[in-house]
Amino acid sequence: NKILCIVGARPNFMKIAPIMAAFRTRTPQLAVKLVHTGQHYDVAMNGRFFEQLGIPAPDISLEVGSGSHAQQTAEIMKRFEPVIDAEAPTVVLVVGDVNSTIACALVAAKRRVKVVHVEAGLRSRDRSMPEEINRILTDQLSDRLYTTEAEALDNLVAEGIAAERVVFAGNVMIDTLQASLAQAVPAEATLAAARDPEIFLQASQGYAVLTLHRPSNVDDVQALTRLLTVLGELSAELPIVFPVHPRTQNKIREAGLGAFLDNPHLLALPPVGYFEMIGLMREAKLVLTDSGGLQEETTALGVPCLTLRENTERLITLSQGTNTLVGADPDTIRKAVNDVLTTGGKVGRAPALWDGHAAERIVDDLACWLGVSA
Ligand code: UD1
């Protein structure tokens, strides 16, 4: 039995880390290799995470880089097919919903290699979101599907996927969060980069963390301007630290919106490492984001999250966690921020099986499914 684990983009790294670790400790008899597609390649988006999360260096690197969705997906497929042929794996394990996930799942399925999907069954029901397409198709191609919340099973069954293939395993991202909190970098250290760090560190008011990278928020100049305007205004009340995704950085530059970041109350940083990010979030008054992972991490940390999207696939963060959907309407955002500032925000609880042991359950189940003893 040989397993190829796939990573490509930043949110994959936190998911694969505990899975690789669990394979190492629980099933040393399984041959496990890590394939990196190279969808993300910058040190800030890639290298630093391998180091901090103790992920072994990839055995195979496809180095595809950036491109349109079709180009990127096709390039991954072209480069992954010979890997499948050379390695002859029993299983290809993919995580999340990025282009690398669907590209490798599709190649594997056509070569009759079993596909395992970690983080299956999440649905935003918004097909304008490229990740939604990736999620639906990857789940259709998968032989074993591990879910992070019980409701995901209903989504899968409604799409004709046999319930026997689906295992509720919990959230591997939270495994990584729990294992890393002791190494979180204190916010103070990261905020020291501010022109006036005192603005951020006054205990009485606190600060917010902002991330933005969804095409719906950043690719359209008007939408981006509207968001940056309201967030700029709000920063006078609650200073905002903003690690800027390269995609967003490019869009801000192209649109000539750099002046929005010239605000002492809005600290724009290059993408920060994982330990820096969890340190910032843990101490934040609130998080404003359009990311999927941050909705989950804030729920696990008990920090209020305002999601700058009209929908989410992580419904459990709304029903049980600290997440609130606020969309992109300036008035709604203003009101939601003020609600958090006056009431302290939504109080949640940790969803079932977000307990730090999801990867162990996945590896044990996988071993059993493959007929090897864990
Ligand atoms: C991808 C994922 C998204 C995930 C996000 C996390 C898909 C469809 N989307 O979106 O689900 O939430 O990663 O970051 O797979 N760039 C760099 N350096 C890098 C990588 C990218 O500068 O290391 C720039 C390039 O200009 C590139 C742009 O960022 O064109 C976007 O990168 P891409 O991988 O296409 O998608 P993301 O927006 O990062």
Give tens-digit pLDDT for 287-337. Answer: 999 999 999 999 999 999 999 999 999 999 999 999 999 999 999 999 999
If you count them, how many residues does the chain have?
374
For the CA of 213, the closest atom of ligand 1 is 38
Tell me if 240 sits within 8 A of 266, measured CB to CB: yes
For residue 152, give the 3-state DSSP assignment.
helix
Sign of CA dihedral 20, 24, 27, 30: positive
The alpha carbon of 247 and the centre of ligand 1 are apart by a number of angstroms equal to: 6
The ligand 1 atom at the shortest distance from the C-alpha of residue 293 is 12
Query: What gap in Å lies between CA 314 and CA 148, rounded to an integer?
Result: 9
Per-residue model confidence as pLDDT tens for the chain (374 residues) = 999 999 999 999 999 999 999 999 999 999 999 999 999 999 999 999 999 999 999 999 999 999 999 999 999 999 999 999 999 999 999 999 999 999 999 999 999 999 999 999 999 999 999 999 999 999 999 999 999 999 999 999 999 999 999 999 999 999 999 999 999 999 999 999 888 888 998 767 899 999 999 999 999 999 999 999 999 999 999 999 999 999 999 999 999 999 999 999 999 999 999 999 999 999 999 999 999 999 999 999 999 999 999 999 999 999 999 999 999 999 999 999 999 999 999 999 999 999 999 999 999 999 999 999 76
Pocket test for ligand 1, best of 12, 104, 247 (most atoms within 8 A of CB): 247
Candidates 12, 98, 100, 252: which one to mutate for ligand 1, based on the most atoms within 8 Å of Cβ?
98
- Report pLDDT for 204: 75
Q: Which of 306, 285, 286, 288 lies closest to 204 in space, CA to CA?
A: 285
Between CA 170 and CA 306 the distance in angstroms is: 23
Confirm if 331 and 325 have CB atoms less than 8 A apart: no
Number of other CB atoms surrounding residue 231 within 10 Å: 24
Residue 196: Cβ within 10 Å count: 11
pLDDT digits (tens, 9 = 90+) for 184-218: 999 999 999 888 888 998 767 899 999 999 999 99
**Backbone angles phi and psi of 233, in degrees to 5:** -60, -45
Euclidean distance between CA atoms 220 and 207, whole angstroms: 27
The catalytic residue among 117, 213, 245, 265 is: 213
Ligand 1 neighbours (beta carbon < 6 A): 9-11, 39-42, 45-46, 66, 97-99, 130-131, 213, 245-247, 250
Name the closest-CA residue to atom 33, ligand 1: 66
- Kindly give the number of the ligand 1 atom that is closest to the alpha carbon of 44: 23
The pLDDT, as a whole number, for residue 373 is 76
Question: Which residue, 180, 154, 138, is CA-closest to 277?
Answer: 180
Write out the E strands in the chain. 2-7, 31-36, 60-61, 91-95, 114-120, 144-147, 166-168, 208-211, 240-243, 266-269, 286-289, 305-307, 323-325
Ligand 1, atom nearest to 45 Cα: 23
- Whether 69 is catalytic: no
CA atoms within 13 A on the CB side of 221: 6
Q: How many CB atoms within 10 Å of residue 192?
A: 11
The pLDDT of residue 235: 96
| Contact status, residue 128 vs residue 37, Cβ threshold 8 Å | no
